[in-house]
A and B are shown apart, each in its own frame.
Chain A
Amino acid sequence: MARSSGFREAKGDLRLESVTKSFGDFTAVDDLDLVVPRGSFFALLGPSGCGKTTTLRMVAGLEQPSAGNIFIGETDLTGSRPYERPVNTVFQSYALFPHLTIRDNVAFGPKRRGDRNAMTLADETLQLVQVDHLASRKPAQLSGGQQQRVALARALVNRPEVLLLDEPLGALDLKLRRQLQVELKRIQTEVGLTFIHVTHDQEEAMTMADTVAVMNHGRIEQMGRPADMYDLPLTSFVANFVGRSNLGVGQVVDRDGDNLVAEVQGTKVKVPLARANAKDGTVMFGVRPEKVRVLRSAPEGGGDDVKGTVLDVSFTGVATEYLVRLPSGTVWSCYEQNLDVDPIDLRPGDDVWISWDPAHAFTVAADEAEARAAEEATA
């Protein structure tokens, strides 16, 4: 039912169909197809300039796509103005109205929609985000974390069909960020709205979202549940952007039952066929650092292993990271959980064996440039 203001009611999944956005010669978002199920917590993860914020702004109506359509349910929102969409944004810089009190900030949306209970709604929502005691202050009198909560309340109070969060925690310190992550998740579960969270912080995306989409160069590289994506990255970019990976370029040489056999820098390694996203020719082989074990002597058993030299040992409390130089010159990183009370007795220069279960290995299409770009983006 359309109102006189042009406001479009829409309920359902958010759908982007072949959405493209170009600024001059630069294509920020490239032929993007995306479905975000209603009520889910969805994260768009990617390095700066990958097109994630542009995508968000197109959903909000602050930018119009150069091509393609944006739907909520069956309603086509393409071309409509921001104020006509059942979508609200929590801006990166909070963008609170500096001349209004906190209560008036939150009541702004409901008032514009002619809601008589705007003030009551505002107070209730401020309570939900636990800043109701600051209702009569001005934004400048609040801390960053408090402003963040107000910005969230100002969007939530409208009960939008889709709530967009543009790096909402980016300006906060680590401890506060952790705390608000948990709280955002709680609020999302409580109100049951579709949340789309844009971030470059892979940990934040993984801890909060039901589904994560990794964007790079205006396209989605991989989309799925955080655990699945971490366990089996499909591209070299994802392998290094979502967590870290030990990667090496090699040639597929053989098949052995359910396994692919590849030769990587002089070592024959096995990868389950189901985990091999690249099956022929030159491939990129990878194992996650925590799946690799560091041993003093040659291992016995079915795993793959290589001999190397310890380059560096860094103790991080929960785990210890070893950098091991392999005969080929590549440096692998291995995390060992500090489960035992034994002191760490490995020193740089020691000869060790590293070993891993082939069931944890994976292959992706060889693209060293992207792997490096991802590594730099997370550094």
Chain B
Amino acid sequence: MSALAHVGQAGGGGPTDPAPAQERAGRSWLPYLLLLPGALWLFVFFVIPLLQLFTVSLQSQFPGYPGYYYRDVNFSNYLRALTDFAPQFGRSLLFAGLATFFAFCLAYPLAYAMAFKAGRWRNVMLIAVIAPFFTSFILRTVAWRQILADEGPVASTLNALHLLPGGHITETWAAVVAGLTYNFLPFMVLPIYASLERADHRVIEAGGDLYANGFTTFRTVTLPMSMPGVIAGTLLTFIPAAGDYVNADLLGADNTKMVGNVIESQFFRVLGGFPVAAALSFTLMALILAMVFVYVRRFGTEELL
């Protein structure tokens, strides 16, 4: 409904004198009409599969017929999801949290430089940030796996210098977190850049004019003004990173598996794993929703809530 209120506002910029009744009736349908294709699409390809998945998550197996299920209200799937796979859940949230933190540390200075210091290089930098999207993200992760492999240039050089404690770069949790950070970095950079670029330069100057030195101005003016971008960036990084399984699969080992990996293997590799996989998916979704809700409540701006 708030989306509709928005449409109404955008259209109502002009004078508000009453239009002829007929025209008004016609116009009030317009927002719904415009929403219809997207709503239909989401209904068919999101809402229905989601409901389907939910029913699957409550199914039970036919005893003696592995791989066959019957409709049921069996919450033990959820219990299994939470007890058997707690380490993977913990890892998912931890890795996603770390990746979000590192991505923020890398992205903020980059976005700041692009918005304020890049001058004519700004567009080049923007393209450089977006360029990785031209290749599939699985291909890029495979490439990382080769670069970081034990026989690859990085690991062999570090090993020759005795600088790599475990002997490997891949198959470690650090490689998974690095992969996640790398893959979701643009989603952190772009919203922060957009909010910094939109910030009124005069407002930042006003900080200096009112006795705040460079760092204080950043802390009290620039950073708070870019918070909508920071929030959007952290959400866009954390949410997909928590559900990701490609990085853990390609760069990690058995002891770095995340929830995504478990869901994938329960769906495709374990006979009779469907209900548990569905329960895992729903649990992950609920966890992320709850965390995002608390996060946005705590740090959010009016623009997001």
Does chain A bind chain B?
yes
Q: Report A-chain residues with C-beta under 8 Å of the C-beta of B211.
A: 5, 7, 83, 109, 112-113, 158
A99 in contact with B224 (CB, 8 Å): yes
Q: Is B31 an interface residue (CB 8 A)?
A: no
* Residues on A facing B (Cβ under 8 Å): 5-7, 60-62, 81-83, 87-89, 91-93, 95-100, 108-109, 112-113, 154-155, 158
If A95-B203, A98-B203 touch, whether A62 touches B212 (CB-CB below 8 Å) is no
CA distance A99 to B303 in the complex (A): 12
CA distance A20 to B301 in the complex (A): 44
Q: Is the CB of A95 within 8 A of B210?
A: no
B221 at the interface (CB under 8 A from A): yes
Interface membership of chain B positions 62-91, coded 1 if the CB is closer than 8 angstroms to chain A and 0 otherwise: 000000000000000000000000000000
Known contacts A62-B205, A158-B211, then 14 further A-B pairs from the complex at CB < 8 Å, ordered by chain A residue: A5-B211, A5-B213, A7-B211, A82-B208, A83-B213, A87-B209, A95-B202, A97-B221, A97-B224, A97-B225, A99-B301, A108-B210, A112-B210, A112-B211
Contacts of A98 in B (CB 8 A): 203, 225
Docked CA distance A154–B220 (Å) = 15
Closest to B211 in A: A112
- Does B200 count as interface, using CB distance less than 8 angstroms? yes
The residue from B202, B221, B227 contacting A91, defined by CB atoms under 8 A apart: B202
Closest Cβ of chain A to B96, distance in Å, is 28
Given contacts A95-B200, A99-B225, A112-B216, contact A158 B210 (CB under 8 A): yes
Assembled-state Cα–Cα distance A81/B202 (Å): 16
**Distance between Cα atoms of A100 and B301 in the complex (Å):** 12
Chain A residue contacts of B227, Cβ below 8 A? 99
Q: B105 within 8 Å of A by Cβ?
A: no
B206-A83 in contact (CB<8A): no
Q: What CA separation (Å) do A113 and B213 show in the bound complex?
A: 11
CB–CB A91/B206 < 8 A: yes
Number of interface residues of B (CB under 8 A): 19
Please name the residue on chain A nearest to B223 by beta carbon: A99
Quick check: A89 and B209 within 8 Å, CB to CB?
yes
Q: How many angstroms from the CA of A62 to the CA of B202 in the assembled complex?
A: 10
Interface mask (B211-250 → A, CB under 8 Å = 1, otherwise 0): 1110010001100110100000000000000000000000
Whole-angstrom distance from the CB of B195 to the nearest CB of chain A?
Answer: 11
Q: Is the CB of B221 within 8 A of A60?
A: no
A108 close to B220 (CB less than 8 A): yes
Say whether B209 contacts A62, CB under 8 Å. yes
Please, which residues of chain A bring their CB within 8 A of the CB of B202?
91-93, 95
B208 touches A62 (CB 8 A): yes
Specify which chain B residues have a CB less than 8 angstroms from the CB of A88 in the assembled complex: 209-210
A89's nearest neighbour on chain B, judged by CB, is B209
Q: Is the CB of A60 within 8 A of B209?
A: yes
CB A141 to nearest CB in B, in angstroms, measures: 11
19 residue pairs bridging A and B, Cβ less than 8 Å apart: A5-B213, A60-B209, A61-B208, A62-B205, A81-B208, A82-B208, A83-B210, A89-B206, A91-B206, A92-B202, A95-B206, A96-B206, A97-B206, A97-B207, A108-B220, A112-B216, A154-B210, A155-B210, A158-B211
- Asked whether B212 lies within 8 Å of A83 as measured between CB atoms, the reply is yes
Partner of B205, one of A5, A7, A82: A82
Q: What is the CA–CA distance of A113 and B210 in the complex, to the nearest angstrom?
A: 9
| B residues 153-211 in Cβ contact with A at 8 Å | 200, 202-203, 205-211
Q: Residue of A at shortest CB range from B206?
A: A95
B226 to chain A: closest residue by CB: A99
Cβ–Cβ < 8 Å partners of A87 in chain B: 209
With A97-B221, A108-B220 as known contacts, state yes or no: A81 contacts B203, CB within 8 Å: no
A93 and B209 in contact, given A98-B225, A99-B225, A112-B216 (Cβ under 8 angstroms) = no
Partner of A81, one of B200, B206, B213: B213
> In the complex, A109 Cα to B210 Cα: how many Å?
5
A150 shortest CB reach to chain B, Å: 12
